[in-house]
Structure 1
Amino acid sequence: MLPFTLRAAQYPADAQAIAEVKNAADPSWPTTAEMLRHSYESRSPAHAYADVVAERDGRVVGVGSLGPDTFAHEDWRYWGGLLVHPEAQRAGVGSAIYEKLLRWAKARGARELRTMLSDLPHDAAGVEFLKKRGFEAKWERYESSLHTRNADLHAFDDLLARVAAGGIRLVPLSELGGPQHQHWLYELDWLLFQDVPLGLTLTRRPLEEWVKDELDDPTLRPQLSFVALDPTQNDPLTGPYIGYSTIGWNPAGEYAYIGMTGVRREYRGWGIAKALKVAAMRALAAAGGGEIKTFNDPPNQAMLTMNEALGFGRVATRTRYELTLEEHA
């Protein structure tokens, strides 16, 4: 008999217990029960998910999940994660959860599993765990950070003035609406993501699913997120929207993070993307300030250079690990 039991996770009942395990095991990206509930409730009923918890003495000590890779969906590819409370590590909890998830994936015909871990100390054991099971490092993502108290936001006054002189308006997401708003932003988001070097073949989510994931996300801060508008444009898909940058706020870690930042190709080179980020940083500073995290892939040199110019400094590298199940049947 193992000193713990495995069972299917139950939402919303287990949300708080799962959040506590995640926060203890991964302090770099803490979460809340509300964030977990939203993620669960936003899932598409068209896809299959597996959620497992390990209990010891009536307490949740480990969590694991598998589901579709929503950014690069294929029926045979799954994305997941596995975390064990530090007090329960090295006791077989992680191995038991992994084997249960692996059996579930194989039963569904999965041929590839993906996950992501950082090079921070708390993830060292997890990286070792993956490598022992045949996972290989396939893609890196750089995490950078900046606190508004260390940013010279007035250094970009001329940039904002030039963008405004070019007729471009930077409007908070909270001030935009109307029947076409969601559609324009949805189309713009998809257009911009085509040029982001993610190392993935992207798949598009339906509008309703995208709205739940992005605009209805409880961590999104519309008053800190900005859309760039060209009033002279009336594109059939994106209307006057030519770029945008979103800011989320992680209440568990009390820091902001940049979601998507991008500008349509024909408007690049004008400084609009940088201006969007500066507007967001100024809005955050005016709201009390705080740390901002951003994540970029090595091939995206333009964005990395821009972030350095804004004052962001590298704090971690997050690596995507992949396992080809056909070779590990």
Structure 2
Amino acid sequence: MADQWVRLELDLTTCPVQRFERYLEACRVAGIRLTTLAALGDTPDHRRMLYELNKECSADIPDRGEFYSFDEYVQQRIEVPSYDPRGIVIALDGDTWMGMSASSKHSGFVFNEMTGVRAGYRGRGISVAMKAFGLSFAELCGVTAVRTFHHPANANAIAMNRTMGYVDAEWEL
């Protein structure tokens, strides 16, 4: 299955970030606040909230299988050199964590690991807004490429990334 993943890349040198302003504005109008885990505080409670949100949003990924335990999640996603809380975008409706987009830093690129929105909030462009908000993390890391990959049956996620300007790319997982 690994050779069937859809690999995508966004070149920030050719992507006009202003084109995403309408998604960011729609969130503001709807009262959805975008921030980062770094700004909220990278605390044990917030890590647990991130885990629960990621677990819920990942349930729709084709062939995802059982989600990590919290301890496995921390070990494999947080306690790794590529983790940076500035790369974790959280969408808030009041105090409710309703969306997240997690990116990690790597040599020469930022990798978008997961973007998800709770079911009741989907279809409003929040995923695009979170990913657009998170593009500043690539700038902080001094890179101009953002990569992601998807199961080929995850048509909504692939379409959302293509809307943003991601194109098919050849790189190793």
Q: TM-score surpassing 0.5? A: yes
SS in 2 for 1:180: helix
C-alpha deviations, 1:158-204, integer Å up to 9, x for none?
2101111111111112122345212211111111111111x24x223
- 1:313 matched to 2:167? The reply is yes
* Alpha-carbon distance in structure 1 between the residues aligned to 2:55 and 2:106: 24
TM-superposed deviation, 1:282: 3.2
Assess, with a 3 A threshold, how the Cα gap between structure 1 residues 305 and 204 changes in structure 2: closer, same or farther: closer
Distance 1:282 1:255 in 2: 13
- What's 1:241 paired with? 97
Of 42, 47, 54, the match for 1:182: 47
**What is the CA distance between 1:214 and its match in structure 2?**
1.2
Cα distance change of structure 1 residues 248 and 317 upon mapping to structure 2, 3 Å threshold: closer
Give the TM-score normalised by structure 2.
0.89
Q: 1:250 touches 1:257 (CA, 8 Å); kept in 2?
A: yes
From the two aligned structures, give the one with the greater helix fraction.
Answer: 2
* Among 232, 249, 264, the residue aligned to 2:118: 264
| 1-structure distance, mates of 2:10, 2:83 | 19
Q: Work out the percentage of aligned pairs sharing the same amino acid.
A: 27
Displacement over 4 Å in runs of 4+? none
Partner of 1:207: 70
Structure 1 contact 173–223 (Cα < 8 Å) conserved: yes
Structure 1: gaps (5+ residues): 1-114, 119-139, 234-239, 320-329
Residue 56 of structure 2 corresponds to 191
1:285 and 2:139 matched:
yes
Q: Distance in 2 between matches of 1:209 and 1:298?
A: 26
Q: Secondary structure of 1:269's partner?
A: coil
2:81 to 209, 214, 218: 218
**Structure 2 Cα separation of the partners of residues 141 and 315 of structure 1:** 11
Query: In terms of Rg, which structure is larger?
Result: 1
C-alpha separation in 2, matches of 1:297 and 1:228: 24
Task: Return 5+ residue gaps in structure 2 as ranges.
Answer: none
Pick one of 206, 212, 227 that aligns with 2:90: 227
What is the alpha-carbon distance in structure 1 between the residues aligned to residue 140 and residue 72 of structure 2?
32
Deviations 1:251-286 (A, max 9, x none): 3xx211110100000000111111011011134236
Aligned to 1:47: none
Distance 1:179 1:155 in 2: 36
8 Å contact from structure 1 (residues 149, 289) kept in 2: no
SS of alignment partner, residue 85 of structure 2: coil
CA distance in 1, matches of 2:123, 2:155: 14
Q: 1:261 to 1:209 in 2, by over 3 A?
A: same
Aligned position for 2:24: 160
What SS class does the counterpart of residue 210 from structure 1 fall into? helix
Alpha-carbon distance in 2 for matches of 1:281, 1:287: 10
CA RMSD of aligned residues (A): 2.1
Alpha-carbon contact 2:8-2:167 (below 8 Å) kept: yes
